[in-house]
Amino acid sequence: APREGGTLNAQHLTLTYDGFTALHDVSLSVPPGHVTAIVGPNGAGKSTLFHCLAGTLRPVSGRITLGTRDITTLPAHARTRAGMARTFQQLAVFPSLTIAENVQVGADRNRRRTAVTQALRLLDLMTLHTHPATDLSTGTLRRTELARALAGDPHTLLLDEPAAGLDAAEVAALATLLRALAADGMALLVVEHDLDLVAGLADTVHVMAAGRIVTSGPADQVLEEAH
Ligand code: ADP
Ligand code: MG
């Protein structure tokens, strides 16, 4: 089971890009044992919010806490060390490394071997582990990224469009895995376009539009209104 990290909480986040306000007063929480989803049209600010939570963008105002700790100014690598793992919307697999080496990048030095093996098993990558991370399907590349994130034994997992480019069977397998991680106590935040995936996966859904959260609630309720 993942180590305890507490709830990731964003309060009143505002972020601007050169004077353009991409996030307006956004608040949400990502509790352990729960799948929280953010949906919304292109340009709504989903990835920008994701970057603030992951530490790759700094909000101009607002506060981010993890449990009782204020992490608003904590850099991304320190958040990773604190147990927050992430994947990228644009895949970030190193093509010159094997799949196993790509997964190792995410593991703590102390427990590298077991962590990598566990993550490869979980993502069904054992038969491919010595394969270079080139000429692979999007599904395999996404599984490699997820394995890398899990190899660090995170308590909080942030996923930006994890189903992009996956076929229906891969999406179903992904949903099953993510539900199991949440059932095991992990806190998951999923930014996702695919509302069918969100419906089968999320406990709580936040709908973003034009930099704001416009609707929040239980997944069935929010997605019902969206149809
Ligand atoms: P989403 O992930 O919901 O599609 P984004 O967070 O990527 O939305 O973008 C939100 C808004 O911020 C959009 O209007 C987008 O054009 C703008 N934006 C995103 N990244 C940048 C950037 N690096 N510089 C300037 N504007 C940006
Ligand atoms: Mg995006």
Kindly state whether residue 57 falls inside one of the protein's structural domains: yes
Range of the domain at 66: 1-83+193-227
Percent of the chain with pLDDT strictly greater than 90: 78
Residue 123 to residue 209: CA distance in whole angstroms: 33
pLDDT digits (tens, 9 = 90+) for 166-216: 999 999 999 999 999 999 999 999 999 888 889 989 999 999 999 999 999
Q: Is the pLDDT of residue 70 over 70?
A: yes
pLDDT band at 3 (very low <50, low <70, confident <90, very high): low
Mean pLDDT: which of 21-25, 139-143, 150-154 is highest?
21-25
Q: How far is the CA of 169 from the centre of ligand 1 (A)?
A: 30
Provide the pLDDT for residue 40: 94
Q: How many residues does the chain have?
A: 227
- Ligand 1 atom with the shortest distance to the CA of 160: 2
Kindly state whether residue 100 falls inside one of the protein's structural domains: no
Kindly state whether residue 64 falls inside one of the protein's structural domains: yes
Provide the pLDDT for residue 149: 94
Mean pLDDT score of the chain: 92
pLDDT digits (tens, 9 = 90+) for 113-129: 888 999 999 999 999 88
Provide the pLDDT for residue 54: 96
Nearest CA to ligand 1 atom 16: 43
User: Can you tell me the mean pLDDT for 154-166?
Assistant: 93
Tally the domains of the chain: 1
Q: How far is the CA of 47 from the centre of ligand 2 (A)?
A: 4
Kindly state whether residue 137 falls inside one of the protein's structural domains: no
Kindly state whether residue 17 falls inside one of the protein's structural domains: yes
Q: What CATH number is attached to the domain comprising 67?
A: 3.40.50.300
> Where on the phi/psi map is residue 58: left (φ > 0), alpha (ψ -120 to 50), or beta?
beta
188, 193, 195, 201: CA torsion to nearest 10: -20
Kindly state whether residue 156 falls inside one of the protein's structural domains: no
Q: Which of 47, 158, 146, 140 is CA-nearest to residue 95? A: 140
- Ligand 1 atom with the shortest distance to the CA of 89: 2
